[in-house]
Amino acid sequence: MSDLERLLSESVPDVGDQAGAAAARLATEASDAGLLDVAYAELDSPVGPLIAASTKRGLVRISFSGVPLDEVLDDLAERISPRVLEAPARLDPVRRELDEYFDGKRTEFDVPLDWSLTRGFRRKVLERTARIPFGEVSTYTEMALAAGSPRAVRAAGSALGSNPLPVIVPCHRVLRTGGGLGGYGGGLEMKSFLLGIEGFDTSGMGPARGDAVRR
């Protein structure tokens, strides 16, 4: 039995109104004991429920509602650490910044990021994507070029499609070279919604139509 499992087994289960306080207390105890490597929380948003997870380095994962919680937690346990625990308070800064973004009150995110779930060319693409300013768009071709492999356009698209930190690493700001929306892990309706928050009218843009416009 791991130290975290032992701490969990020794905790007295609570029900009703006490459950949230008990979970918070357990998360604090685990953190104080150095047993909490990955904290996660479920967040509400205009694009549906999100799962956010962070490490001591920073935010490591955001998942849309289409990905089951168990799948997200299993992936985090396998790729980062099995010491994963729900700890909403640890994700409060992320929650606040996302709320401000969706309310139109924030154009840049300040929360630190943990890039542990991506590496190599994919990481280069996503790090470059993270620098696309609010109100501007780029293309898959430009992302491949910025990552040092101008011919690897499909690979750049794949990197963006597997982005572990959507919205905060704004892969929705990357369009097809011809100006079409391209793809998006959360679906094109969500991509259009996010671009709409940032001042773009995508009503005439299909998956591969029109010219990319920079603001």
How many whole angstroms separate alpha carbon 78 and alpha carbon 74? 6
Amino acid at 51: I
The residues spanned by each domain of the chain are: 35-102, 120-197
Q: Does the domain made of 120-197 have the CATH classification 1.20.58.220?
A: no
Run means of pLDDT, 10 residues per run, the chain, 215 residues: 52 50 54 77 96 97 93 97 95 98 97 97 97 95 95 95 97 90 91 94 60 34
Residue 3 CB neighbours (<10 A): 12
- Distance in angstroms (rounded) separating the CA atoms of residues 46 and 158: 26
C-alpha distances in Å from residue 72, one per residue of 47, 156, 161, 180, 197: 18, 23, 16, 30, 27
Other Cβ atoms less than 10 A from the Cβ of 177: the count is 15
| pLDDT value at residue 4 | 55
| CATH (one of 3.40.50.11540, 3.40.50.720, 3.90.1150.10, 3.30.160.70) for 35-102 | 3.30.160.70
What does the pLDDT read at residue 210? 36
Element spanning 138, H or E: strand 138-139
For residue 115, the model assigns a pLDDT of 98
Alpha-carbon gap, residue 108 to 168, rounded angstroms: 8
CA distance 207 to 188: 8
Active site residues: 171
Is there a common fold for 35-102 and 120-197?
A: no
| Residue 89 DSSP symbol | G
**Coil, helix or strand at residue 38:** strand
